[in-house]
Amino acid sequence: MGDHDPFERLGAAAAERAAAGLARRLRPRGPDTAPGAVDLAGNDYLGFARHPAVTGAAAAAARRWGAGATGSRLVSGDTLLHRELEEELADFYGAEAALVFSSGYTANLGLVTAVADGSAALVCDRGNHASLIDAARLAKAAGAQVLLFDHGDGGAARAALADCGREHRTLLSDTVFSVDGDLSDVAGLARACAENGAALLLDDAHGLGVVGEGGTGALSAAGLRGAPGVAAAATLSKALGAQGGAVLGPRTLIRHLVETARTFVFDTGLAPPAAGAALAALRLLRGDPRRPRRLRETARRLSAELRAAGLAATVPDAAVVSVLAGSREEAVSWAGRCRAAGVEVGCFRPPSVPDGRARLRLTARADLTGEQVDRALEAVVAARPRGAPAAGPVGGLR
């Protein structure tokens, strides 16, 4: 053994990030939320993560099926519980079939790389989630052509599909973009794909359980339930409060994924407690379709009152409200003051968002009381930094 430490340069890079105010630290929370605290930082949109029917189903699934899946679905990890969850998810979403993965991230990686082989062109919105970006990078390494279009620019997406020169074409887009909370023009993208014989793959991580009638998702909201040539990935870890991911789409595609999606074939199957929890949450959602509406109303109220207080808040299409801060330092200290006042908010800064676009990210929940929303609003407004941009048309923020 020499005395060269190959990890030393990583420590130096961490010190540089810290000096630039970019350090990221874990902050483990205790099992109980402080009394009176309001959580606007997580993605537990419908309040299911701690719902007794959901946690009870997780425990029951662990007892019946085991704490882990024990192997890949194709080897030893497939259970009737997975089958039941996939059938109910497909039925709810209006897709022919569904396949669950160990996370939304692996669902996106597996879906995109299994569809876009070396002969394909992938046309991607620049604002896509990191999991779609990584999926496109993997596809590119396998020979696919990757073309990016500016966020939300449907005309550019259409032109890229028409001009790419490859026979197999696929368009990749989030439905609800996770940082600003805006919704893509799903119907317009579907038309552009249909005109060019292209597949449309959508990431509906923030749409399932949130948008569409009864939370049936962005395809349903766009009148595209079961549309040919279209598939969606979703997560079980946001509105459903569990853990895991899913792909929803035509049966032919799902069969292809079972045999070829590397993050399905080589990954241990979704853990049974997560599958049981997601199934229980899905049944709660179906049992009370008013929850997603309440969630969207709360998001709109948060946005309207922040804007009325003069802050540059996005107008939400789903559950996410983003509020611009003057600078990355101000975003960090603003979030810290909110936390001290008992309100947890997300804080997004470069490199997660472009330079100059640091912001607080607030996520509404269906289970917040009016009084909790009042308290959250009061805390965010009272803690505002002096330099917070004012409401109004701020590039990209509506």
The answer to whether residue 237 forms part of the interface with ligand PMP (CB under 6 A) is: yes
What does the per-residue mask of binding to ligand PMP show for 318-357, with x meaning CB under 6 A? Answer: ----------------------------------------
* DSSP secondary structure, 284-353, as one string: HHHH-THHHHHHHHHHHHHHHHHHHTTB-B---SSSEEEEE-SSHHHHHHHHHHHHHTTEEEEEE-TTSS
Residues across the chain? 398
- In the block, tokens 């308290």 appear at 375
Q: How far is the CB of 234 from ligand PMP (least distance, A)?
A: 9
Q: Sign of torsion, CA 249 130 391 309?
A: positive
Q: How far is the CB of 315 from ligand PMP (least distance, A)?
A: 19
Helix 104-115, helix 130-141: angle, nearest 10: 30
Q: Residue 82 has which token pair?
A: 């997975």
- Which part of the chain contacts ligand PMP (CB under 6 A), choosing from 84-92, 200-208, 221-229, 389-397? 200-208
The answer to whether residue 174 forms part of the interface with ligand PMP (CB under 6 A) is: yes
Among 55, 79, 131, 173, binds ligand PMP (CB under 6 A): 131
CA atoms within 13 A on the CB side of 359: 26
- Going by their DSSP bridges, the two strands 245-249 and 230-235 should be labelled as antiparallel
Q: How far is the CB of 322 from ligand PMP (least distance, A)?
A: 13
Among 39, 86, 182, 203, binds ligand PMP (CB under 6 A): 203
CA distance 173 to 75: 32
Q: Scanning residues 206 to 225, which ones bind ligand PMP (CB under 6 A)?
A: 206
Nearer to ligand PMP, 1 or 26 (CB): 26
- Paired residues of 343 in beta bridges: 38
- Which part of the chain contacts ligand PMP (CB under 6 A), choosing from 23-31, 72-80, 84-92, 198-206? 198-206
- In the bound state, the residue with its beta carbon closest to ligand PMP is 104
CA distance 73 to 270: 8
The answer to whether residue 103 forms part of the interface with ligand PMP (CB under 6 A) is: yes
Which residues, in sequence order, are CB contacts of 155 under 8 Å at separation 6+?
none
At residue 234, the 3 state secondary structure works out as strand
Q: Residue 379 has which token pair?
A: 């805390």
Are the C-beta atoms of 303 and 314 separated by less than 8 Å? yes
Nearer to ligand PMP, 385 or 396 (CB): 396
* DSSP secondary structure, 95-152, as one string: -SEEEEES-HHHHHHHHHHHHS-TTEEEEEETT--HHHHHHHHHHHHTT-EEEEE-TT
Q: How far is the CB of 341 from ligand PMP (least distance, A)?
A: 26
Count of chain residues binding ligand PMP (CB under 6 A)? 14
Nearer to ligand PMP, 103 or 196 (CB): 103
Are the C-beta atoms of 174 and 151 separated by less than 8 Å? no
Q: Scanning residues 31 to 50, which ones bind ligand PMP (CB under 6 A)?
A: none
CA distance 295 to 274: 23
Nearer to ligand PMP, 161 or 205 (CB): 205
Nearer to ligand PMP, 174 or 182 (CB): 174
The answer to whether residue 267 forms part of the interface with ligand PMP (CB under 6 A) is: no
- Which part of the chain contacts ligand PMP (CB under 6 A), choosing from 20-28, 31-39, 103-111, 303-311? 103-111
Q: How far is the CB of 27 from ligand PMP (least distance, A)?
A: 18
The answer to whether residue 276 forms part of the interface with ligand PMP (CB under 6 A) is: no
User: Which residues lie near ligand PMP (CB under 6 A)?
Assistant: 103-105, 108, 129, 131, 174, 178, 203, 205-206, 235, 237, 245
